[in-house]
């Protein structure tokens, strides 16, 4: 045993291990676990082991859920859905409150169980995960109480299938279950195969508080069980996990009308400007990438540092990194615990081998015996190196430099992902400029990995769509007020007009033109079809590409106008529509023109009012939930009501600052092409609206397959909807498919359209000195 004098010299800590006795007793008493269906545990079926990754020792046997198990759970959830959905919000709130209280009382037990199953340090499960779980249920008890008045006309979706990963097992469960229940849905949840234990302990809590049978069902198993849940008749799938699996789920749900939210991978930038507080930024790295062994979807794993301070930053970073303690997860002084499973450790090591093979230098990051990897970073790493492009999902960052803020933004956005970002600068101007320009759903300024139940979380691009937390998260579990659905007549087949018909035989081209980039354009290839007694251009993939480019070019000016500027343009457009009514004669009814004018006025009114919010998430932080336009939107209009329907979709989209490539009614395209002329003389900048006529399904598919498109609205049904949503599953472009309705009536306008025209970016800004315990996530 060392003497006190020696300890003072070495500063070695003795072990301080959290007692796991109660958890081990609990596991021993249960032995093997069945599923939790209709309020009780089933008899275990075929089982597999879940292990403590820090020792490899088996903790329990878990049932591998079959299709039959999933079907049984979905039926139980369906039976419970009516009663739970009809229950007064206050009564649901009391259940959520009871769950929160019980978790709070069992905090120590759940933290130890989580740490045993997942390998994360007890300090994290005890100080971060479980308190956030409790917070989530309290927060959503509140939403249940006030849902009827806050979301008038909205209804629960029904049964929600929820699939979660292993990095935050109980926290991800809370993120999914709490809003679903608050909104009046019932759930079937599948935890990750590596970490099912806290979900099963949660099932016991549901039974303990007397939650009605079938409201929460837990089916354990691997990806096959997950796939069975995706294929089951549920009303929504909420998934958190890898981008590849997320893409497969989007593919499977295409055309089904079932809701989907995806929270996928990330490779988030961590930008350190020259004027940053470097010590604080280094602490931010600890919070952001080394926290939870780097197994965090929003980890700021790409460190980008200003060249002028790079050397100093790296010295500080390395010094701090070398002090981090890798060790037994239950030891209270462990900083870095075990990787969740040997499979994941191998995955990390193979990416590191690829990265160093491609020329990067690894500092630290040594693999230890068992599931342990020391913290590290890759330097001298080229932009195409797999280590900087792929999600490593381990305690290894990359370190690169930049010279100017513009270069920092370019590098930050040089990824397929867009989940989160952390930016560090002591200048408010610089920090907020970066926060605005980084493409991500969450931005932390001078902090990292701060979460709260009230702050929407979720990504853009390959990081998925949908938000968890706060008002946005609730809306993702609610159905918008119902509308009377009017069938949209499917378009007639297009038969290209013989080329000779394109002119009048005397060299005059009678073909109407596409409208791209503010100008009339002949379609690529020059083909046309006959509709409304006119030769209508048949747009091609190339025309779509040109239109998307034009839209991208038009965005800057349009967004630069701001809400007030855009409102003025929309009023002017309304004025011109009124003046040029007669031009629409024969192409759209008087009611349609009236409706078009109404849309302009309505959304001009909202252009400077449909705002985000500053939310009271945590003391010591300004938390701003910003409404951002998607960017370039593809709008595939219905076949009926050729002017009114197009305007009902187009105007809210552009009012919010998007640029649109619209595919108008296939059978009656002349109203849209006439509209193009009115747009051209109404100060709508070039590229903000582009109109490509032709086969709706093909053009919609081309839009959905184009990486430059950021969101799609489409009203096609059946095969058209399937084709467009399938194409969008590959690109992960979010698709909104509103039901066909009376496009001249009140159901054709409202906040639902505005909400679909924006996405949120949550920006966290610490202000003042932070009271202890309210800062960044870790410690």
**Active site amino acids:** 263, 297
Strands (E) across 413-532 are located at 420-424, 442-445, 464-465, 478-479, 514-516, 519-521, 528-531
Cα 89-92-97 angle, rounded to 5 deg: 120
Smallest separation, CB 625 to ligand NAI (Å): 21
Smallest separation, CB 144 to ligand NAI (Å): 26
To 10 degrees, the CA torsion angle through 116, 119, 121, 123?
-50
Q: Would you say 458 or 629 has its CB closer to ligand NAI? A: 458
Q: Would you say 294 or 652 has its CB closer to ligand NAI? A: 294
Q: Would you say 42 or 242 has its CB closer to ligand NAI? A: 242
Q: Would you say 221 or 708 has its CB closer to ligand NAI? A: 221
In the DSSP assignment, the letter for residue 360 is -
Q: Would you say 292 or 710 has its CB closer to ligand NAI? A: 292
Q: Would you say 243 or 401 has its CB closer to ligand NAI? A: 243
3-state secondary structure of 505: coil
Smallest separation, CB 594 to ligand NAI (Å): 48
Interface contacts to ligand NAI, rule CB under 6 A: 163-167, 190, 192-193, 222-223, 226-227, 230, 240-242, 245, 248, 263-265, 297, 347, 391, 393
Q: Which residues contact 341 (CB under 8 A, 6 or more apart)?
A: 51, 53, 166, 194, 371
Cβ atoms of 372 and 120 within 8 Å: the answer is no
Smallest separation, CB 157 to ligand NAI (Å): 19
Short-list 344, 324, 18, CA closest to 167: 344
- How is residue 638 written in tokens? 């219905």
Smallest separation, CB 584 to ligand NAI (Å): 49
Q: Which residues contact 211 (CB under 8 A, 6 or more apart)?
A: 39, 95, 99
Write down the residue that tokens 């990995």 correspond to: 449
Dist CA 438 CA 441 (whole Å) = 9
Q: How far lies 215's CA from each of 87, 162, 174, 612, in Å?
A: 12, 13, 14, 33
Smallest separation, CB 248 to ligand NAI (Å): 5
Write down the residue that tokens 């591998």 correspond to: 64
Q: At what angle do helices 21-30 and 107-118 cross, to 10 degrees?
A: 70
Q: Would you say 125 or 666 has its CB closer to ligand NAI? A: 125
Smallest separation, CB 56 to ligand NAI (Å): 18
Dist CA 526 CA 503 (whole Å) = 11
Smallest separation, CB 485 to ligand NAI (Å): 31
Helix (H) / strand (E) containing 361: strand 361-364
- How buried is 3 (Cβ within 10 angstroms: 0-12 exposed, 13-18 middle, 19+ buried)? exposed
3-state secondary structure of 504: coil
Q: Would you say 218 or 672 has its CB closer to ligand NAI? A: 218
Q: Would you say 239 or 743 has its CB closer to ligand NAI? A: 239
Smallest separation, CB 353 to ligand NAI (Å): 15
Cβ atoms of 179 and 157 within 8 Å: the answer is no
Dist CA 232 CA 253 (whole Å) = 11
Proportion of the chain in helix, strand, coil states, percent, rounded to 5: 45, 20, 35
Q: Would you say 265 or 441 has its CB closer to ligand NAI? A: 265
By beta-carbon distance, which residue lies closest to ligand NAI? 226
Cα torsion 146, 151, 155, 158: sign: negative
Strand order in the sheet with 259-263: 40-41, 36-37, 216-218, 186-190, 159-163, 236-240, 259-263, 464-465
Beta bridge pairs of residue 615: 623
Smallest separation, CB 44 to ligand NAI (Å): 18
Dist CA 388 CA 409 (whole Å) = 16
3-state secondary structure of 634: strand
């Amino acid at each position: 045993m060392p003497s006190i004098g020696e300890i003072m010299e070495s500063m070695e800590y003795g072990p301080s291990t959290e007692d796991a006795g109660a958890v081990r007793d609990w596991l021993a008493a249960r032995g093997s676990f069945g599923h939790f269906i209709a309020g009780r545990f089933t008899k275990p079926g075929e089982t597999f082991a879940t292990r403590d990754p820090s020792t490899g020792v088996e903790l329990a046997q878990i049932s591998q859920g079959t299709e039959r198990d999933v079907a049984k759970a979905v039926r139980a959830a369906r039976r419970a859905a009516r009663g739970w959905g009809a229950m007064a919000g206050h009564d649901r709130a009391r259940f959520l409150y009871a769950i929160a209280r019980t978790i709070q009382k069992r905090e120590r037990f759940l933290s130890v169980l989580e740490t045993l199953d997942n390998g994360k340090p007890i300090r994290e499960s005890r100080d971060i995960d479980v308190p956030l779980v409790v917070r989530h249920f309290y927060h959503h008890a509140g939403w249940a109480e006030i849902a009827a008045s806050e979301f008038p006309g909205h209804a629960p979706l029904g049964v929600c299938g929820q699939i979660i990963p292993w990095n935050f097992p109980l926290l991800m469960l809370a993120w999914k279950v709490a809003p679903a229940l608050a909104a009046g849905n019932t759930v079937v949840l599948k935890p990750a195969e590596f970490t099912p234990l806290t979900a099963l302990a949660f099932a016991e809590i549901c039974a303990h508080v007397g939650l009605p049978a079938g409201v929460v069902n837990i089916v354990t198993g691997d990806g096959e069980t997950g796939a069975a849940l995706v294929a089951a008749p549920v009303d929504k799938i909420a998934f958190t996990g890898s981008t590849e699996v997320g893409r497969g789920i989007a593919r499977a749900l295409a055309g089904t009308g079932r809701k989907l939210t995806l929270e996928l991978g990330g490779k988030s930038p961590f930008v350190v400007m020259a004027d940053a507080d470097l010590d604080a930024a280094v602490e931010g790295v600890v919070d952001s990438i080394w926290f939870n062994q780097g197994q965090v979807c929003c980890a700021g794993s790409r460190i980008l540092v200003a060249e002028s301070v790079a050397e100093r930053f790296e010295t500080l970073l390395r010094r701090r990194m070398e002090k981090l303690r890798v060790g037994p997860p239950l030891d209270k002084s462990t900083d870095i615990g075990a990787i969740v499973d040997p499979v994941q450790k191998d995955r990390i090591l193979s990416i590191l081998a690829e990265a160093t093979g491609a020329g990067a230098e690894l500092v630290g990051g040594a693999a230890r015996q068992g599931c342990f990897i020391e913290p590290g970073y890759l330097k001298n790493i080229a932009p195409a190196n797999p280590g900087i492009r792929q999600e490593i999902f381990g305690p290894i960052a990359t370190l690169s430099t930049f010279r100017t803020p513009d270069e920092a933004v370019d590098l930050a956005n040089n990824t397929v992902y867009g989940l989160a970002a952390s930016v560090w600068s002591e200048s408010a101007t610089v920090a907020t400029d970066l926060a605005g320009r980084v493409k991500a759903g969450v931005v932390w300024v001078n902090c990292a990995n701060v979460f709260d139940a009230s702050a929407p979380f979720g990504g853009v691009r390959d990081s998925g769509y949908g938000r968890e937390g706060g008002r946005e998260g609730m809306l993702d579990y609610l159905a918008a007020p119902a509308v009377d659905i009017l069938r949209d007549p499917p378009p007639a087949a297009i038969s290209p007009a013989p080329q000779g018909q394109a002119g009048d035989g005397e060299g005059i081209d009678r073909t109407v033109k596409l409208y791209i980039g503010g100008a009339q354009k002949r379609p690529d290839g020059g083909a046309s079809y006959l509709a409304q007694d006119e030769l209508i251009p048949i747009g091609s993939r190339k025309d779509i590409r040109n239109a998307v480019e034009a839209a991208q070019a038009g965005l800057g000016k349009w967004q630069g106008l701001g809400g007030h500027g855009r409102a003025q343009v929309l009023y002017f457009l309304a004025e011109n529509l009124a003046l040029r009514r007669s031009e629409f004669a024969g192409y759209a009814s008087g009611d349609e023109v009236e409706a078009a004018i109404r849309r302009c006025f309505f959304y001009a009114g909202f252009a400077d009012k449909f705002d985000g919010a500053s939310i009271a998430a945590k003391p010591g932080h300004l938390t701003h939930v910003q409404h951002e336009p998607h960017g370039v939107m593809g709008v595939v209009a219905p076949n009926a009501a050729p002017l009114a329907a197009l305007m009902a979709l187009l105007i809210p989209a552009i009012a919010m600052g998007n640029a649109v490539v619209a595919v108008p009614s296939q059978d009656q395209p002349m109203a849209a092409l006439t509209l193009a002329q009115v747009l051209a003389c109404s100060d709508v900048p070039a590229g903000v609206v582009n109109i490509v006529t032709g086969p709706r399904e093909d053009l919609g598919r081309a839009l959905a397959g184009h990486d430059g498109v950021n969101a799609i609205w489409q009203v096609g049904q059946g095969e058209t909807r399937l084709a467009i949503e399938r194409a969008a599953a590959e690109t992960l472009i979010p698709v909104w498919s509103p039901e066909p309705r009376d496009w001249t009536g009140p159901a054709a306008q409202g906040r639902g359209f505005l909400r679909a025209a924006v996405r949120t970016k949550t920006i966290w800004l610490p202000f003042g000195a932070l009271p202890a315990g309210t800062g960044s996530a870790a410690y």
